[in-house]
Amino acid sequence: MIALFRRQQYLLSYTLAAMLRRKGRNLALLFVYMLIIFVLASVMFLSHALIREAGIITAQSPEIIVQRMTAGRQALIPADYLERMGRLQGVNRREARLWANFHDAATHKNYTMRVDSHRELGDGEIIIGASMAKRLKVNPDDQLTLTSTHGEPYTFHVKGITTSPSELANAGLVLISAATFRRIFAVPPGYFSDIALSVPNPREVRTITEKLLKRLPDTRPILREEIQRTYDSIFAWRQGITFVLLVGAIFAFVIFAWDKANGLSSEERREIGILKAVGWETGDVLRMKFLEGLIISLCAFIAGCLGAYLHIFYASASLFEPILKGWSIFYPHFQIRPFIDGLQLATLFFFTVFPYTITTIIPIWRSAITDPDAVMR
Amino acid sequence: MKIELQNVKKAFNQGRSNELWAIRGVTTTLEPNRITCLKGASGSGKTTLLAMIGCLSRPTSGRIMLGERMLSGLPERFMTEFRRHTFGFIFQRLNLIPGLSTLDNIMLPAYPLAPRHHQLLASAQSLLEQFGITDKGNNPIEWLSGGEAQRVAICRALINNPQIIIADEPTANLDSRLSTEFMGLLERLRDLGKTVLITSHDPLVFDAPCIDRVIELRDGEIV
């Protein structure tokens, strides 16, 4: 057993020495390989993290949102719609909500201003999301000025900071009192942005929607599952687009690996012949070359994934942001919370390290099973 | 152990239009603890015969016996065993691995046997000492002179303490002084109890006093 272990040690030490002898070539290969893994892992990490963020948001949102439509556009909904809606079997909570998007003309950022009926806020007082506070370097009891598109400044007193499991929800959230909200957005009393309905039993959602449309024909019920589906398809589509763009790069890498594998240099073939002639078994040669491929693959995989992790979760995915986030969708800057799925990593490993190792080992095996007498000539 | 060749033949590209019979029925016995030289012009079949004896390739027909054991027709695994334990090779172009140190090159054939590292290192250093190149152990192989590299190749051939040394045109790239020196080294190996098989078409080799027997080959046959 110890001899077997020692043998592997000798093989590994020879492999490392052999790799160092072809430093330039191996470093070039490692760099290209790492770049591919980096790009693929970045796309995967970002897409999955965004889908997860979207999942957290939709999980918190009500099952049905009722919006009033006028001339095909969303309009303010009168409070008496709650009465007109009547009693709906399966709905355990109804809430008329006030929310709006606020574009800060000074910083060109979008914020979501929302009235939270559970929080006591005075006129001009706000509670902001933790990541927004961090980004704007604002602390509780500070003053924060936001400028409307008309150039009118609004100065708020930051009463507190709120946290949310979703960084995305947190990024541009401003909680505000109803009075302040109505003043800023000129929403008359008795009108709201929409009505949220909580339906504990998901199987009742469709029936309730049908009843709603009969009782309030000028409204549009939006279902949580629809929002979820939209998010999923947006990110899946963007992920798909990026993958399509990457296909060329992936093919180039496959050709590169195949070429490297097939085009065993005469020096490498000679080395295999020498090793066999001096008593190495075909298995030893294969193990040595397998180790070589594995070391390159693993280094590239680990470095690529690590680079992608830092790129996505600490450098705000700066290379892919325009494609994957979409500037119009998530305009306020936000830092995605680190999230790694083991299955994702395993998939990436299977589709990169595994084929590379196999494509390189086959020609080496072909070369290693031939008689070593060629080295005599 | 003596080596016995019985009607050994070797064809390349058999069955194709460019079929070539490199060895056309060689029968002979090589005595142990002797230096035997296979002499002949280029293309006479010297290297092919040596490769078959050294288990680097298989004869197309005929038998090669090492003592009581038949080498021809052995599965690859067993041929490797023989190459590892019984034969030590000194190649025409030396075939040292560039980029590795002298010591690493010498120790290479012993890696599959997995001896303890300090023992292996001691054996390699003792060989370096025997051949007068102790101070070259850590040098990359590219730094060595032709003669020094030749000695390293001999050390590598001896690291697993084989019974038979096979040297293919070992003086082809050496000048007369180094060739004579090399023959002296072969004589030392024979004195250590080794059997030496060497190919050459250099008179400095086959006319050397240490050569016990010369076998001349022409067109794949013993003349």
Q: Which residue of B has its CA nearest to A275?
A: B109
B177 lies within 8 A of chain A by CB:
no
Rounded (5°) CA angle A12-A15-A18: 155
Q: Is the CB of B97 less than 8 angstroms away from the CB of A369?
A: no
Distance from CA of B208 to the nearest CA of A (A): 23
The chain-wide mean pLDDT, for chain B, equals: 90
As a whole number, mean pLDDT of residues B184-213 equals 90
DSSP letter assigned to residue A188 = P
Of A276, A9, A361, A364, give the one whose Cα is nearest residue B77.
A276
Rounded CA-CA distance B122/A31 in Å is 40
A274 lies within 8 A of chain B by CB:
yes
Q: How far apart are the first and last CA of chain B?
A: 25
Quick one: A254 exposed, middle or buried, by C-beta within 10 A (0-12, 13-18, 19+)?
middle
Residue B102 has pLDDT above 70, yes or no: yes
A17 lies within 8 A of chain B by CB:
yes
B127-166 pLDDT, tens per residue? 999 888 889 989 999 999 888 898 899 899 999 999 999 9
Distance from CA of B47 to the nearest CA of A (A): 7
Q: Element (H or E) spanning B218, and its range?
A: strand B213-218
The partner residues of A65 in beta bridges, in order of sequence, read A196, A222
pLDDT of residue A375: 55
Chain B residues in contact with A373 (beta carbon < 8 A): 48, 51, 56-57
Q: Which two tokens stand for residue A198?
A: 């909580």
Q: Is the CB of A373 less than 8 angstroms away from the CB of B56?
A: yes
Q: Which residue of A has its CA nearest to B52?
A: A373
- If you write DSSP's letter for every residue of B116-128 in order, what string do you get? -HHHHHHHHHHHH
pTM attached to this predicted model = 0.69
* Number of C-beta neighbours around residue A80 at 10 A: 9
Residue B11 has pLDDT above 50, yes or no: yes
Of A197, A167, A160, give the one whose Cα is nearest residue A53.
A167
Q: Which two tokens stand for residue A270?
A: 């000679």
Does residue B33 sit in helix, strand or coil? coil
Q: Which one of B77, B95, B104 has the shortest CB-CB distance to A281?
A: B77
pLDDT of residue B108: 93
Distance from CA of B172 to the nearest CA of A (A): 12
Residue A237's alpha-carbon distances to A48, A137, A325, A347, in angstroms, are 12, 35, 11, 19
pLDDT of residue A161: 87
Chain B residues in contact with A273 (beta carbon < 8 A): 95
Q: Which two tokens stand for residue B94?
A: 């030396």
- Residue that wins the pLDDT comparison between B185 and B215: B215
* Number of C-beta neighbours around residue B68 at 10 A: 7
Q: How confident is the model at residue B5 (pLDDT cuts 50, 70, 90)?
A: very high
Q: Which one of A4, A278, A369 has the shortest CB-CB distance to B108?
A: A278
A1 lies within 8 A of chain B by CB:
no
Per-residue pLDDT of chain A (377 residues; tens, 9 = 90+): 777 888 888 999 898 888 888 888 888 888 888 888 888 888 888 878 877 877 777 777 888 999 999 888 889 999 888 888 878 888 888 889 999 988 888 888 888 898 988 888 888 899 988 878 888 888 888 898 888 878 888 899 998 888 766 666 667 888 999 999 998 888 999 999 999 999 888 888 888 999 888 888 899 999 888 888 887 777 776 667 666 666 766 666 666 666 665 556 777 888 888 898 888 988 888 888 888 888 888 899 999 999 999 988 888 777 776 665 554 444 455 566 777 778 888 888 887 787 777 777 777 777 777 777 765 56
Q: Is the CB of A377 less than 8 angstroms away from the CB of B47?
A: yes
Q: Is the CB of B56 less than 8 angstroms away from the CB of A282?
A: no
Where do runs of H (alpha helix) occur along chain A?
2-21, 23-60, 81-85, 130-136, 167-171, 178-185, 205-215, 224-262, 266-277, 282-313, 321-324, 342-368
Chain A residues in contact with B77 (beta carbon < 8 A): 281
Q: How confident is the model at residue B212 (pLDDT cuts 50, 70, 90)?
A: very high
The partner residues of A11 in beta bridges, in order of sequence, read none
Count CA atoms closer than 13 A to A203's CA, side-chain side.
Answer: 0
Q: Is the CB of A7 less than 8 angstroms away from the CB of B112?
A: yes
Rounded CA-CA distance A74/B178 in Å is 98
B76 lies within 8 A of chain A by CB:
yes
Q: Which residues of A301-336 are buried (b: 16+ CB within 10 A; e: fewer)?
A: bebbbebbbebbbeebbebbbeebbeeeebbbebbb
Q: Which residue of A has its CA nearest to B58?
A: A371
The partner residues of A256 in beta bridges, in order of sequence, read none
Of A234, A246, A196, give the one whose Cα is nearest residue A329.
A234
A194 lies within 8 A of chain B by CB:
no
